[in-house]
A = this chain, B = another copy of it.
């Protein structure tokens, strides 16, 4: 079976109930620089991960496992991701 390369775009965010001191510091810094219209800032991670699998289902399952085990801390963080097939030899 042929292999397909995917790029996973992963967004890791703090759960809404978890305090975000870094975001609070950034918001306060922006306000002090004159950006008084800023109300709240929440900091998260954005991860681009390239992987090669046989099916999209398999890619989805593996990325889910990686997020749950290593990329996010499920106690305090949520994650979501999108998968994009990378075109390799498919031309047009």
> Which residues does A use to contact B, with CB under 8 Å?
5, 11-13, 23, 26-27, 29-30, 33, 35, 37-53, 62, 65-66, 69-71
Contact (Cβ within 8 A) B45 A46: yes
Interface centre among A27, A37, A38 (most CB of B within 10 A): A37
* Alpha-carbon gap, A76 to B2, bound state (A): 36
CA distance A13 to B7 in the complex (A): 15
Count identical subunits in the complex.
2
A5 — which chain B residues lie within 8 A by C-beta? Answer: 39
Contact for A48 among B13, B33, B70, CB less than 8 A: B13
10 further A-B pairs in the complex, CB-CB below 8 A; given A26-B47, A35-B51, A41-B49: A23-B47, A37-B52, A37-B62, A40-B50, A41-B48, A41-B50, A42-B47, A42-B48, A43-B46, A45-B46
